Structure 1
């Protein structure tokens, strides 16, 4: 009988034996009546000893069935409690379903007023929050009352006077490369007109006088040094730039700049530029700043690039005799003398290219 029972046992997908609670109780009863020990009985019928012991202990405690045939047995008291909870859940679900049907039928699509929701809550003896959740109505539509604020008065933009407009047009006609900050400063300095930067920007934008942003891509080589200094007469920078005239002539301009206040101490211009001209320019700068005296040893630096006019031995010897430290920039690194390069670009953009460049003499004049 036992062999036939075990042979016909249904197996799970993983090969596990699936026994009902009645089959487990029958196996335990047959083992107890056989008079064999549990290991001997399990060895004969191909069972597991620990499972048979577990089935016997559950049978003694009053277990009668297995949930989902997974081997977990429950007592009569536990099953009775589960049945009671299941009945309560069914009852609550039925009441909720009935309430929803009644409320939906009563209200329609869920759009209602606060008075109707309060009457529904009183009729079915439920809270207003539960009624709102059941209907799917936003709580803000019931409790929130929007406050009407007075309309905000929009202030009209104050237009520029005709005098300011004429002054702006006159300045931009003379210097087309001047932007908003320069125009605003010149209005205050030359015309005595005080105006905000935003009003200047608005008028220049209306007239199409704004400068288009243009930035040339520089060298990718990083520049980690610092050219500017905190005290005056501690570092001078010099450079030579060229101005090409309309008739093909080329004018060279050299200057000496203070790296503290960026003022031009001395300058020279001509068709040709040699080391002697640079030496005379440095002498003029020394006389302008130190008069008959010389700077202290190591006090003043002279920064320049590696142009042929600056690397002459006579010029280096003269700088050394004047207690000036000769400093040259690294090769292929114009950004190391960036203060002079920036002055060259600004000078040409705002003044040179806005003037008459017929020939070299007219530019000098």
Structure 2
């Protein structure tokens, strides 16, 4: 059957089999008994605009691929420049100029200057004068500084070296001399060591009455207290807590956004209101400024509390409070940063009043909660 014998209607229906019903040209040609070449010609003749559109889409796709490849090459080059220049990113402009000069054969100068935030004109000016007038003057002053330092047998600092230079007629500044000496690690040698803090020194405000006797035989005989920090996106939230050594129960607590005396006093006031001790209570703390204030001492005297303080820098003297704060941060906070202080307050309140005091099993109490221990011993 020749191509001239197919009617226009036959050709139209054959083309629809390919364009509208989704069959391939070879399948339609085999079913209708026509050659694939003829069917391709019919399809092309029926939709000339589609062929042109297809060609345009191909051209656009190729141009987009070329653009993306160029962009990828630039990104890779920027990555390589940053990897190579990480040692000079925080340095001055002259160090960056030196890096650009060393890598100008590998990367474009304009791109390196743009990424390192330096002016290209400044780089070309540096090429003509690599050492500035100020650097040359610094080198000259360095020789005079070393001469003065050596003449003093190494005991002169920046102020005395500066005095020598001014006496010699130099007009440099004191801070410039200090900077040059700092950059070249020239500093005065002293014949004594810097005094350091002495850990373990007893408090002069209150003696250590507790002496690490963390086991007591009755409630409200000895309390321990301390302050810890909780991170939020709004800033620190400070928690002061009071623990009864008899049952390890948190008998008082307070949370505030500032580290003030009221933080400690509110926690103690809550403990006094809740427990209403009938006799004097030993109150142990560290040597924080809040526990050494006059308001704290007056509060203790008015409510029958006997202050006791740990040795300086010795966390073992207040180990029970350190253990409670450690449990709080490991079991509830878990290195989390709360969004707001209110969210932190709610979570810490839930841990202390709902979980820790009422249901958390304590190893020191034989595996029962502090409230269950007190009820059993009542």
The TM-score normalised by the length of structure 1 is: 0.35
- The structure whose Rg is larger is 1
The TM-score normalised by the length of structure 2 is: 0.34
